[in-house]
Chain A
Amino acid sequence: MQFLIITPIALLMGVRIVLNPLYIILAIIAMAITAIGFSAFSVWIATFMKTRERFMGLGQARTMPLFFASNSIYPISIMPPIFREIALGNPLTYSIDALRKVLIIGTTNGLIIDITALVIFMSIFTVLASIQIRRIIE
């Protein structure tokens, strides 16, 4: 029941500098899991919405905290303690960590933790979205 697109990822990939071609497959898997998870999350939110405007407004309110409460532009270790806890519950943190290990540093140490967290996140929201969609259709 999940609706996913893999095509834009490839397009988004082609623009970037890739330093280590060996681990690209792993990176694509991590990105695909993240993408499925977030589209399921988005579909789940959308089932509660009555109008498009409300969804768009809420979209901005969701993306910016997700982005800034992750380790994307600064390491978690220099955050204030409260935000550190929030960042550890943020799925983006894990996927960025996985991608950074694989593409930039080039190790697979601790990659299993990141992937596990992402798979858990993805399955939770896929199940929630499927249940909610079925209820709405009926």
Chain B
Amino acid sequence: MYFVDAVLAFVELEARRIKYNMTEVITRAVQPILWLVVFGPIMARVRALPTGGIPYVAFITPGVILQSITFVFIFYGLTIV
């Protein structure tokens, strides 16, 4: 169970860091909100992209979720540099 302990330690580290510094939550949320609120409706008005029958904002939602996840995690190696 050494592995589970190690993973839980990192989860706890991350949870404590967020609890201590709530601004991080807001700064992480700003960019995806802008994508969904500004970019999505504007590009939906153009109607240039074949999205296969789904609304454009719904089409980009998975992309925006994963983009924000990726941007957080791609810098995660910073802790060991």
Q: Which among B10, B14, B50, B78 is the interface contact of A56 at CB below 8 angstroms?
A: B78
The interface on chain B, measured as residues whose beta carbon lies within 8 A of the other chain's beta carbons, has a size of 43
Closest CB-CB distance, B39 to chain A, in whole Å?
Answer: 8
Residues of B within 8 A of A8 (CB): 14, 18, 28, 69, 72
Q: Does A104 contact B (CB under 8 A)?
A: yes
Q: Does A22 contact B (CB under 8 A)?
A: no
CB under 8 Å from chain B, chain A span 49-74: 49, 51-52, 55-56, 59, 62-63, 66-67, 70-74
With a 10 A CB-CB cut-off, give which of A7, A41, A72, A78 has the most chain B CB atoms: A72
11 new A-B pairs (CB below 8 Å) besides A31-B66, A104-B59? A4-B11, A11-B28, A12-B72, A16-B64, A34-B69, A38-B69, A42-B74, A49-B81, A62-B74, A73-B63, A77-B50
Is the CB–CB distance between B59 and A95 below 8 Å?
A: no
Residues of A within 8 A of B15 (CB): 7
Is the CB–CB distance between A52 and B81 below 8 Å?
A: yes
Total contacts A-B at CB 8 Å? 142
**A95–B49 Cα gap in the complex (Å)?**
21
| Interface of chain B: mostly helix, strand, loop or mixed | helix
Closest CB-CB distance, B26 to chain A, in whole Å?
Answer: 10
Is the CB–CB distance between A39 and B73 below 8 Å?
A: yes
Is the CB–CB distance between B63 and A15 below 8 Å?
A: no
With a 10 A CB-CB cut-off, give which of A5, A17, A49, A133 has the most chain B CB atoms: A5
Q: Which among A7, A42, A44, A96 is the interface contact of B63 at CB below 8 angstroms?
A: A96
Q: Which among B11, B18, B51 is the interface contact of A75 at CB below 8 angstroms?
A: B51
